[in-house]
Structure 1
Amino acid sequence: MKSWKDVVAHRQFRYLDHSKKKSFHGKSYTALTSFAIDDVLALFADGVNADPALRLWVHPNTIVLGIPDSRLPYLEEGVRLLSERGYYTVVRNSGGLAVALDSGVLNISLVLPDVQGTSIHDCYEAMVSFIRYMLRDLTDKIEAYEIVGSYCPGDYDLSIDGRKFAGISQRRVKDGAAIQIYVDVEGNSRERAELVRDFYDSSRKGKDTKFDYPDINPDVMASLSELLGMKLTVAAMKGRVLNALQNTSERIVTDDFSDEELVQFEKRYEQMVKRNKKVAGMQ
């Protein structure tokens, strides 16, 4: 397995802080927009000379569903429940299941070029190691394994003392990969978990399904602030991300999208709109 620095380290990195954006080139800045943006970044991460990118994003009161969630037998009732509680629902184009986002959750997208010779596991490990490096002065207890009872469970759940604070998904587009992680920094993790649990209860109603949806236990999830016993903020975490990036690259650029990237963004955005047409009609 490759070292995470072998996977992540590049002389030049593109850095995009979208955490406070309200719009993006004429489109409302929702999670739907974010997934289209990451697709474009991965699409243009083509070839050995392409620059990798790191993007930060935050979305208020959003439940991001995985593709299997869109097949729940009573999805309409679940989406209606979320809407009544003030949450917007989006189906993403990367792996995983339902995740709760709000202003206390920082999302980080690490977009790597030329990954044909890099395994999916190496890319996941690169993100895990980047987060450990970023928090190295605060804790050495971060582990990566599936936390049963969490929402969006997976082999690369990040936890401290058995309680999950982050989850990772990955999407590959041609030669590029977008490794996306949500980090629960601050706020009420129990309420987030209870909301996702209620969504599954309303969308499934105990009916047998081919897919094994999680039985969520809010006790196995927590924010970093709670786990580390200190007040951490999204703003402070953003600073840590940038500092870690500066330590692993020689030059950081903040270029906006090129004309060619904007053309592809329009296409990818429309694909996300079509993917979400059913869910949008339920809200």
Structure 2
Amino acid sequence: MTAIDLPEAPLVAEKAFDDSVALLRSVGSRELACERALRIHTPLPTLAMSRWESRQPGFAAASDAARRLGFAPAIRPTGGRAAAYDETCLVFDLVVREDEGIDPQPLFASTSARLAGELADMGVDAHVGAVAGEYCPGEYSINARGAIKLIGTSQRAVRGARLLSGVIALGAVDHLLPVLNAANAALGLDWDPSTFGGLAAEIGRVDRQKVVDALIAALAE
């Protein structure tokens, strides 16, 4: 059975992350009687950084820069590197029940392949694989034309369950670049802003509900 939560109102980072962890623990403890749970939400402006980044000397400077640019700095429960998003994006959390000690790679591989397939059905030249210079680099990024990162994912496991989270920009991303530039500079991390893009640049006008439907099709079963 799948639980799907699609709140309409944008969620602040702290509540969104608390909800993600609560969902993860509910599935892992069997409190929620389903094998897979999916929630999709619209975020408020956030610079989501990992716990690794929170321990770096430049974390305070990155957080200050985010605030000046109107983005709330927050530490997300999953790994990876800094990601910036706002109401023009969608964030998804997939939780799957699993035994302890399972390799995370199969979930990365299967979900990325299905996400790329759904984007391809929407007209995107979608592929799975890292783009040189991308933000939050990873081999299971979903890209367009092998050149533009569209979706990044990261994971966290607890006893009995695993969380895979991701974000996709629907429209233009120019307004997200300054905060990513500032954060990566403060943290001493290199990236190429030209590798970051949204769906609209690939397929024209984007219908938000169709993207939600595509995420559900890719992740709910």
TM-score bin (small chain): 0.7 to 0.9
Gaps of 5+ in 1: 1-11, 23-28, 205-212, 249-283
CA RMSD of aligned residues (A): 2.3
In structure 1, which of residues 9, 13, 17 is the aligned counterpart of residue 2 of structure 2? 13
Separation in 2 of the partners of 1:46 and 1:74? 34
In structure 2, which of residues 37, 50, 75 is the aligned counterpart of residue 66 of structure 1? 50
Separation in 2 of the partners of 1:223 and 1:191? 12
Structure with the larger RCO, 1 or 2 (CA within 8 Å, 6+ apart): 1
Deviations 1:219-253 (A, max 9, x none): 1111111123x11143331133345567x4xxxxx
Bigger radius of gyration: 1
Separation in 1 of the partners of 2:153 and 2:182? 22
Query: Residues 111 and 220 from structure 1, CA distance in 2 versus in 1: closer, same or farther, beyond 3 angstroms?
Result: same
In structure 1, which of residues 153, 175, 186 is the aligned counterpart of residue 160 of structure 2? 175
Contact 1:108 1:180 (8 Å CA) reproduced? yes
Contact 1:186 1:233 (8 Å CA) reproduced? no
Matches within 5 A, 1:102-113: 102-113=86-97
In structure 2, which of residues 66, 79, 84 is the aligned counterpart of residue 95 of structure 1? 79
Once the two structures are overlaid, the 10-residue window that deviates more, 134-143 or 107-116, is 134-143
What's the % identity of the aligned pairs?
18
Structure 1 residue 92: Cα displacement: 1.1
Equivalent residue number for residue 16 of structure 2: 34
Structure 1 residue 115: Cα displacement: 4.3
Equivalent residue number for residue 44 of structure 1: 26
Equivalent residue number for residue 257 of structure 1: none
State the SS of the aligned residue for 1:216: coil
Equivalent residue number for residue 158 of structure 1: 142
Structure 2 letter corresponding to 1:197: N
Matches within 5 A, 1:1-283: 12-18=1-7, 20-21=8-9, 29-46=11-28, 50-116=34-100, 118-139=102-123, 141-161=125-145, 162-187=147-172, 189-201=173-185, 203-204=186-187, 214-228=189-203, 230-243=204-217, 248=221
Query: Residues 244 and 131 from structure 1, CA distance in 2 versus in 1: closer, same or farther, beyond 3 angstroms?
Result: closer
Separation in 1 of the partners of 2:179 and 2:200? 20
Separation in 2 of the partners of 1:54 and 1:170? 14
Gaps of 5+ in 2: none
Question: 4+ residue stretches of structure 1 with deviation over 4 A?
Answer: 243-246
Query: Residues 50 and 117 from structure 1, CA distance in 2 versus in 1: closer, same or farther, beyond 3 angstroms?
Result: farther
Separation in 1 of the partners of 2:132 and 2:205? 27
Once the two structures are overlaid, the 10-residue window that deviates more, 143-152 or 58-67, is 143-152
State the SS of the aligned residue for 2:132: coil
Contact 2:148 2:196 (8 Å CA) reproduced? yes
Query: Residues 131 and 73 from structure 1, CA distance in 2 versus in 1: closer, same or farther, beyond 3 angstroms?
Result: same
Contact 2:47 2:179 (8 Å CA) reproduced? no
Once the two structures are overlaid, the 10-residue window that deviates more, 163-172 or 29-38, is 29-38
Deviations 1:38-83 (A, max 9, x none): 2222222238974311100121211101122212323323222211
TM-score normalised over the length of structure 2: 0.87
State the SS of the aligned residue for 1:44: helix
Structure 2 letter corresponding to 1:73: P
Query: Residues 115 and 122 from structure 1, CA distance in 2 versus in 1: closer, same or farther, beyond 3 angstroms?
Result: farther
State the SS of the aligned residue for 2:27: coil
